[in-house]
Amino acid sequence: MKSKINSFWTVVLTIIITYLIVKFAIPALSRELTGMPFPLPVPSALIFIYMVLTLIAMFLLVTFDDKPLNDFMNPIKRFLRGDFSKPVRAIGIVLVSTTVGWYVYDITVPKVAAPVALRIQHPSSNFPNKMEDLQNPMTSPTEEQVTSFIEQAKAGEIQFIEQVVPDFEAWMDETGEEDPLLAINTPAIKTFRAALEADNVSAETARAALLEVRMFMGRALYAMNCRACHGDSVAGDGPMADGFKLRPINFTDNGTIETIVEGYTFWRVQNGGPGLPLEATPWDSAMPEWKVSLTEEERWLIIMAEYDLAEKTPRIPEKH
Amino acid sequence: MTLGNLGTAVALVALLVPGMAEAKTTPDGTMPEASEEFVETGRQTYIKRCSFCHGLLGDGNGPAADYLDPRPRDFTLGTYKFRTTNSGELPTDNDMFRTVSRGLPGTAMQAFDNDTIKNGLSEEERWQVISYIKTFAIEFDDPELDPVKTGKTLSLPANRAPYSPELVAKGKEVFEKAKCWSCHGKTGRGDGNKEFRKDDWGFPIRIRNVTHPWKIKGGGEAEEIFMRFTSGINGTPMPSFVKTLSEDDRWALANFIKSLQHDLTKHQVLAALTVEGAVPDDPADEAWKNAAPMDVRLTGQVIAPPRWQNPSIEMATVQAIVNDKEIAFKMTWDDPFKDIKHDPAKEMNATEIQKVGLYSSYVAANDMIARDLETFRDSIALQFPVKTPSGTKKPHFFRGESSSQVNLWIWNADLAEQGEEATVEANARGWRQAPKPQKDDQRQVISKAAWDQGQWTVIMKRPLVTDDKNDVQFEAGKFIPVAMNAWDGSNGEHGLVMSLSSWHYVFIDAGIPASVYIFTALGFILTGGLLVWFARKAESTPQTDASEQT
């Protein structure tokens, strides 16, 4: 069944529905799309623009022809003339004026709400240019490193960072195995060990296995140093995340670590909150200056593991 | 536009509103047959996602394990805490699925459900990991120990009375009768014991403060709470009450425990209550009932070495009362042990620590932090910027920096106990140097404290304005940033081993300026006037349009 409504109500309803969509439906939809536990509200300046656009559209619709204009104006004229009875007119006038008065009061009265601080997430004003082209040395091992890794594997003396050694030693003690690589034993390592056995290791095979070993160490370092805030699935939801007003970054989000070059990630890990420029509100950032506690190699290992866990790749530096 | 279209639009809006996806707690199907390949795929995932805490051997000794409290589960013993089986029994497959899927709130074990975590694990991947985890304990191979086959599983009451004041009152009686308070305390804050308890592995454990829902590992819903004291928590002193309490009693008890949960406030601005008379300085003063509370979340100090991942104090509630001369803050926080002694000789020298280390409170590593009673004092501090910022720029929330200093009011339980003024006023310019106490003649904060049933209450009072340039000055109508530091002595906390919060604000009402009323009146009069004028005009215009429709 379709019942025709006149242009006055079309205008009123369109405005109300547009407002509801912008104010409530878009934030709700954003939650579905981002998968985050909070909505992304439309900024009030944007709401204003959308509503002005809607009003212009309605104005065009109504003034397009005399007929809709009359349709639109008649109820208003009749109301003002008192055709719906004088008391209705009086109540209407009081209601509209009160609404305007309340609105003025609401926007001018001082509110006990935290002042809003705009924050730029990836500030570049003090990012050193020379770091733009930095490449993670952990993801691109040199030929010497690969050769040395093969030698280590042959001698059964793979070099691990000290933090993971006790766990490997406990594993070897318990299982009686002598090769710590067996504890990791991902497909790449299986291939490498088989090739080692057959004595036909290619640089490619060894490189893949070395990357797995490094990834393992990076994940361990991440679990020790970063996990408490950024979470064990790098989703910015570690057990300590709720304690910070500026929540730890969720690396699985689009628009975080995949939009920046690795050199930038390294710079942020190195200098932490105190290294941020003013536009990025350094006073709210709990990110430590990791150069204080982690070696350069450890920081790169963590970055390698962080991109891998987040299933993201860093942005490629632009050619100059 | 037609009404039909309108309906479609409304339906569309309604469709877009539903909440976020919840972590699933029950699988779509049963656990698939664990073929060799299935278990091996699980092992690959385990090495990548689980081994760093739970260890290559599944013994809960991974490289990150010493940072965690509670420690990661040791899978080799087959002792699982959160089950739906009789006390002492193995968990069901679904119990393990639930834990892997949604994690254990308040611990390092987080959700792995790929419906809630983008890079989480699919249902099949979770089953694969579980099949691998089960290989760590031989108990899982023994069909006679299978809780499902031997009928040792538990279920929820078939008829669960809805939450009601009567049910809660009945639950309170059960709480008294079953002596839950002997460990958990009369108010549920975990303060029933005078010393630490230990788990089966010999690690000191915290008795759960059931009033903080974000820390309830097995889940905070009445159904989940019911299961905890029905199944017991294996490996800990928490027993099963399945034989001593009827099902109805346990359901009522679950609802009583649920009723104790604290509802966190959300606001970031503490509105000080303005009073005419004197500002109260006693924690028990009735006036505090009218002052709006603000809950401040705190977390471990991980910004500077020694990075502290096992904070004890995770929330403090603050209130403020002000008159034209003074301001008083009331801080309330839970702490099961009243630590009123301090031994400076046992403090660690954090300035020499650069490497991240094992500063976990229960690990003897480095012999640096003693988690002991009667070693360190309880303490709490309010922190303000010395200069109230005019824009958004503030000192760093962790003790400011060299260019902008903060003012700290540090209350110490040991001083309070000795009857001295317990609050030290100090200034800091960054964390690298300990806060510098102000001279005795510059101290103007007066404090008073009380400890009752696992809860501290501290009042700090100071004149709004002082003539000391190192003090914060309170001006009405300004947003004055405030942050907190807190120490639980028996958790080994002192110095930079502490909890801290981000910046919040305190706001003293300056009244509504006259301009607001003028603008409001103008808005009302102008609109009204215009409409009346239009109405007059419309009345005087002859009705020319005959085509008017009704």
What is the four-CA torsion angle of A257, A263, A264, A267, rounded to 10 degrees? 120
**pLDDT class of B547 with cuts at 50, 70, 90:** very low
Q: Are A259 and A312 in contact (CB under 8 A)?
A: no
Q: Does A169 touch chain B (CB under 8 A)?
A: no
- Asked if residue A262 is part of any domain, the answer here is yes
Chain B positions touching A74 (Cβ under 8 A) are 545, 548-549
The answer to whether position A265 is within a domain reads yes
- Closest residue by Cα to residue B58 from B3, B104, B96, B22: B96
Phi, psi of A53 (to 5 degrees): -60, -45
At residue A128, what is the residue type?
P
Residue range B71-100: average pLDDT? 94
Is A133 in the same domain as A92? no
Instruction: For residues A67 and A179, state if they share a domain.
Output: no
- Mutation for B interface: A6, A104, A160, most B CBs within 10 A: A104
Asked if residue A318 belongs to a domain, the reply is no
pLDDT (average), residues A254-273 = 92
- Both tokens of B156, joined, read 């929820």
Which residues have CB under 8 Å from A199's CB, separation 6+? Answer: none
Whether A85 has a pLDDT exceeding 50, the answer reads yes
pTM, full prediction: 0.85
Question: For residue B306, is the peptide bond before it cis, meaning its omega torsion is within 30 degrees of 0?
Answer: yes
- What chain B holds in terms of domains, given with CATH numbers, is 36-145 (1.10.760.10), 165-259 (1.10.760.10), 269-507 (2.60.40.1190)
Q: What is the DSSP letter of A41?
A: P
What pLDDT is attached to residue B353? Answer: 55
> What's the one-letter identity of residue B484?
M
Residue A103 pLDDT > 50: yes
Does A115 reside within a domain? Answer: no
Contact B520 A108 (CB under 8 A): yes
pLDDT over 60 (residue B370): no
Sequence-distant (≥ 6) Cβ neighbours of residue B427 within 8 angstroms: B386, B405, B406, B407, B408, B435, B436, B438, B470
Residue A178 sits in the same domain as residue A263: yes
SS (H, E, C) B181-232: HHHHCCCCCCCCCCCCEECCCCCEECCCCCCCHHHCCCCCCHHHHHHHHHHC
- Among B3, B395, B510, the residue with its CB nearest the CB of A2 is B3
B52 touching A, CB under 8 A? yes
Within a domain: residue A117?
no
Q: Please list every residue in chain B whose beta carbon sits closer than 8 Å to the beta carbon of residue A35.
A: 20-21, 116, 118
A282 inside 8 A of chain B by CB:
yes
Q: Report whether B506 contacts B386 (CB < 8 A).
A: no
- Are A85 and A200 in a shared domain? no
Q: Which domain holds residue A73?
A: 7-108
Q: What is the mean pLDDT of residues B147-154?
A: 93
A43/A147 same-domain check: no
Cα separation, B337 vs B194, in Å, equals 8
Does A69 share its domain with A139?
A: no
Rg (CA), chain A: 31
Distance in angstroms (rounded) separating the CA atoms of residues A13 and A26: 18
Mean local confidence (pLDDT), A288-306: 94
Q: Residue A243 and residue B64: Cβ atoms within 8 Å?
A: no
- In B366-519, beta strands by DSSP E: 379-385, 406-412, 423-428, 436-437, 446-451, 455-463, 479-487, 499-500, 504-507
Best probe of the A interface among B53, B76, B217, B299, by most A CBs < 10 A, is B299
Point out which residues pair with B448 in neighbouring strands.
B459
Nearest alpha-carbon partner for B244 in B236, B256, B232, B235 = B232
Q: Could you tell me how many residues make up chain B?
A: 550
d(CA B156, CA B153): 10
pLDDT in tens, A176-204: 999 999 999 999 999 999 999 999 999 99
pLDDT of the residue at A4 = 66
B356 touches chain A (CB under 8 A): yes
By percentage, how much of chain B surpasses pLDDT 90? Answer: 72
How far is Cα A101 from Cα B528, in angstroms, rounded to an integer? Answer: 10
**pLDDT at residue B293 greater than cutoff 90:** yes
- Average model confidence (pLDDT) across chain A: 90
Spatial distance between the Cα atoms of B20 and B330, rounded to a whole number of angstroms: 37
User: Taking a C-beta distance cutoff of 8 angstroms, is the pair B185, B192 a contact?
Assistant: yes
Q: What is the mean pLDDT of residues A12-33?
A: 89
Alpha helices, DSSP H, located in B331-401: none
> Stretch B119-141: mean pLDDT, rounded?
96
CB nearest to A93's CB, from B309, B513, B531: B531
What is the model's pLDDT at position B362?
Answer: 44
> Which are the contacts of B78, defined by CB distance < 8 A and separation ≥ 6?
B90, B137, B138, B139, B140
Is A232–B534 a contact, with Cβ atoms under 8 angstroms apart? no
The residue among A73, A108, A143 that closes a domain is: A108
Kindly state whether residue A113 falls inside one of the protein's structural domains.
no
Residue A34 identity: T
pLDDT class of B422 with cuts at 50, 70, 90: very high
- CA angle, B371 then A171 then B131, to 5°: 95
Nearest chain A Cα distance for residue B479, angstroms: 8
Domain edge (last residue) among A77, A108, A139: A108
What pLDDT is attached to residue B91? 96
Residue type, B85: T
Q: Is it the case that residue B4 has pLDDT exceeding 60?
A: no
Whole-angstrom Cα Rg for chain B: 29
A97 close to B (CB below 8 A): yes
| pLDDT given for residue B367 in this prediction | 43
Closest Cα of chain B to A298: distance in Å? 12
Question: Residue A123 domain-assigned?
Answer: no
Answer whether B30's CB lies under 8 Å from B113's CB.
no
Nearest chain A residue (CA) to B542: A81
Q: Concatenated DSSP letters for B233-292?
A: -TTSS----TTTS-HHHHHHHHHHHHHT-------SEEEPEE-SSPPP-STT-GGGGGSP
Distance CA B114, CA B93 (A): 19
- The torsion angles phi and psi of A220, rounded to 5 degrees, stand at -65, -45
Q: B245 and B174 in contact (C-beta within 8 Å)?
A: yes
Confidence of residue B375 (pLDDT cuts 50, 70, 90): confident
Express each pLDDT in A28-83 by its tens digit.
Answer: 888 777 766 667 888 888 899 999 999 999 999 888 888 888 888 888 888 888 88
CA pair distance B349, B302, nearest whole angstrom: 16
Cβ separation of B354 and A4 shorter than 8 Å? Answer: no
Residue B411: partners with Cβ closer than 8 Å, 6 or more residues away? B379, B380, B381, B422, B423, B447, B449, B458, B460
Is the pLDDT score of B15 beyond 90?
A: no
Task: Among B299, B305, B314, select the one facing A244 at the smallest CB separation.
Answer: B299
- The answer to whether A101 contacts B523, with C-beta atoms less than 8 Å apart, is yes
Does B440 lie at the interface with A, CB-CB under 8 angstroms?
no
> A221 and A142 in one domain?
yes
Q: What is the pLDDT of residue A39?
A: 76
Mapping DSSP to helix (H, G, I), strand (E, B) and coil, where does residue B383 land? strand
At B185, list the tokens: 């305390």
The verdict on A246 touching B (C-beta cutoff 8 Å) is yes
Q: Give the distance from residue B198's alpha carbon to the nearest chain A alpha carbon, in angstroms.
A: 23
For B402: left if phi > 0, alpha if psi spans -120 to 50, otherwise beta; the answer is: alpha
**Which A residues 144-163 touch B at CB under 8 Å?**
163
- Tell whether A88 and A143 lie within a shared domain: no
pLDDT, mean of residues A90-95: 92
Same domain, A76 and A13: yes
Separation of alpha carbons B355 and B367, rounded Å: 16
Give the minimum alpha-carbon distance from B369 to chain A in angstroms, rounded to a whole number.
18
- Residue B68 is predicted with a pLDDT of 85
Mean pLDDT of B433-457: 94
Please give the C-alpha separations between residue B436 and each of B407, B429, B461, B494, B525, in angstroms, as whole numbers.
10, 9, 20, 16, 58
B/e letters for B373-401, b = 16+ CB within 10 Å, e = fewer, are eebbbbbbbbbbbbeebeeeebbbbbbbb
Does B534 reach chain A within 8 Å, measured CB to CB?
A: yes
Q: Which amino acid is at B163?
A: Y
pLDDT digits (tens, 9 = 90+) for A146-183: 999 999 999 989 999 999 999 999 999 999 999 999 99
What per-residue confidence (pLDDT) applies to B174? 97
* pLDDT greater than 90 at residue B482: yes
Question: Is A81's CB within 8 Å of B538's CB?
Answer: yes
Instruction: Please tell me the predicted confidence (pLDDT) of residue A36.
Output: 65
Is A98 at the interface with chain B, CB within 8 A? yes
Give the integer Cα–Cα distance in Å for B39 and B66: 28
A296 shares a domain with A158: yes
Tell whether A194 is within 8 A of chain B (Cβ). no
End-to-end CA separation in angstroms for chain A: 65
A121 is a domain residue: no
Mean pLDDT of the residues in chain B: 88
A91 touches chain B (CB under 8 A): no
pLDDT in tens, B40-57: 999 999 999 999 999 999
The number of domains in chain A is: 2
Average pLDDT estimate for B191-202: 82
Residues B382 and B397: their CA atoms lie apart, in Å, by 11
- B474 or A85: whose pLDDT is higher? B474
Interval B299-356: pLDDT, tens: 999 998 888 888 899 999 999 999 999 999 999 999 999 999 999 988 877 665 544 4
A165 & A104 share domain: no
Q: Is B113 within 8 Å of B23 (Cβ atoms)?
A: yes
- The DSSP annotation for A185-220 comes to --HHHHHHHHHHHHT---HHHHHHHHHHHHHHHHHH
Distance from CA of A11 to the nearest CA of B (A): 9
Cβ atoms of residues A273 and A281 within 8 Å:
no
- For residue A237, list chain B residues with Cβ-Cβ distance below 8 A: 110
pLDDT for res B99: 96
What is the tens place of the pLDDT at every residue in A232-251?
Answer: 999 999 999 999 989 999 99
A209 in the same domain as A294: yes
B126 vs A contacts (CB less than 8 Å): none
Check whether B531 has a pLDDT greater than 60. yes
Q: Which residues of B touch A13 (CB under 8 A)?
A: 1, 6
In this structure, the strands spanning B269-271 and B504-507 are: parallel
pLDDT tier for residue A320 given thresholds of 50, 70 and 90:
low
Residue B4, chain A, CB below 8 Å: the answer is: yes
Average pLDDT score over residue span A274-283: 90
Query: Which of these three, A53, A75, A108, is where a domain ends?
Result: A108
The shortest CB-CB distance from A237 to any of B12, B110, B479 is to: B110
- Selecting from A2, A101, A167 the residue whose C-beta is nearest the C-beta of B2 gives A2
**pLDDT classification of B165: cutoffs 50, 70, 90:** very high
What residues of chain B lie within 8 A of the CB of A220, using their CB? 52, 62-64
**CA-wise closest residue to B425 among B413, B414, B436, B434:** B436
